[in-house]
A and B are shown apart, each in its own frame.
Chain A
Amino acid sequence: ETGVTQTPRHLVMGMTNKKSLKCEQHLGHNAMYWYKQSAKKPLELMFVYNFKEQTENNSVPSRFSPECPNSSHLFLHLHTLQPEDSALYLCASSQVRGGTNEKLFFGSGTQLSVL
């Protein structure tokens, strides 16, 4: 148990569906992240939120829409996805303090399949 919970663990959706991934952290952290992990590729950073403000968007297509209502919750809204978007989506959190010991804590991920 890392203190970061993602739901659902598995999701199958059609290309015309709209779904949302949820992430919740119980660590009191002030930064949250979405990563995408496709087979045989490095983890790709998608979005970063610091203190609820989006500070990074790594050229992610608009069919992925993040939302961070507070520092403990992060959502990824999905609509009109493509089959190549099938991947493991990982949420992480960290305590940004400008020091030396910042660490990422990951959830178990949502395995997404787009049909």
Chain B
Amino acid sequence: DAKTTQPPSMDCAEGRAANLPCNHSTISGNEYVYWYRQIHSQGPQYIIHGLKNNETNEMASLIITEDRKSSTLILPHATLRDTAVYYCIVRVVTDTGNQFYFGTGTSLTVIP
């Protein structure tokens, strides 16, 4: 079962910030939020993850609401190469290890 919901598609102007929302209202206290992206014909690529604090790395920033029911991935200066499907994922801890549950993703198109 997908534990996240995302808008199916978004557009963003090149050079502008892309803000991709995700709802994960049933997330539990020990479950992390991950973001991956998938460019056509390739496997998904890791972007960033977090538990409850905001996170930033060289690719993006992750803003998680205080109640942890939603988050936003921010690409600060979108380029044409950022056109991809972006997946918001909840990592669930089980007795046998961690499970990563993908949603349907948001198809981001960066427009010149």
> Residues on A close to B: CB < 8 A?
2, 4, 31, 35, 40-43, 45, 48, 50, 55-56, 90, 92, 94, 96, 100-109, 111
If A42-B2, A42-B102 touch, does A106 touch B45 (CB 8 Å cutoff)? yes
For the complex, what is the distance from the CA of A41 to the CA of B85, rounded to whole Å? 12
Known: A42-B104, A100-B32, A102-B91. A48 touches B45 (CB 8 A): no
**Other-chain residue from B36, B43, B44, B97 in contact with A96 (beta carbon distance below 8 A):** B97
Which residues of A have CB within 8 Å of B104? 40-42
Task: Collect the chain B residues with CB atoms within 8 Å of residue A105's CB.
Answer: 46
The residue in A4, A50, A90, A106 that gathers the most chain B C-beta atoms within 10 A of its C-beta is: A106
B interface SS class: strand
Q: Chain A: which residue is nearest B99 at the CB level?
A: A45
**Which B residue's beta carbon lies closest to that of A30?**
B97
- B residues 2-52 with Cβ under 8 Å of A? 2, 32, 34, 36, 41-46, 49, 51
B→A interface (CB under 8 Å): 2, 32, 34, 36, 41-46, 49, 51, 87, 91, 96-105
**CA of A102 to CA of B34, assembled, Å:** 10
The complex places the Cα of A106 from the Cα of B105 at a distance, in Å, of 17
The CA of A28 and the CA of B96, in the complex, are separated in Å by 19
When the two chains form the complex, which single residue of B87, B91, B99, B103 contacts A56, counting CB atoms closer than 8 Å?
B99
> Beyond A2-B43, A108-B43, is A103–B49 a contact (Cβ under 8 Å)?
yes
- Ordered by A's residue number, 12 sampled pairs between the chains whose C-beta atoms are within 8 Å are A35-B102, A40-B104, A43-B87, A45-B99, A55-B97, A56-B99, A92-B43, A101-B49, A103-B46, A106-B43, A107-B43, A109-B42
Q: Are A2 and B45 in contact (CB under 8 A)?
A: yes
Contacts of B44 in A (CB 8 A): 43, 90, 104, 106
Cα–Cα, bound, A95→B96 (Å): 13
Closest chain B CB from A45 CB (angstroms) = 7
Give the top 9 A-B pairs by smallest Cβ distance, nearest first: A106-B43, A55-B96, A43-B102, A42-B102, A103-B46, A106-B44, A50-B97, A42-B104, A42-B2
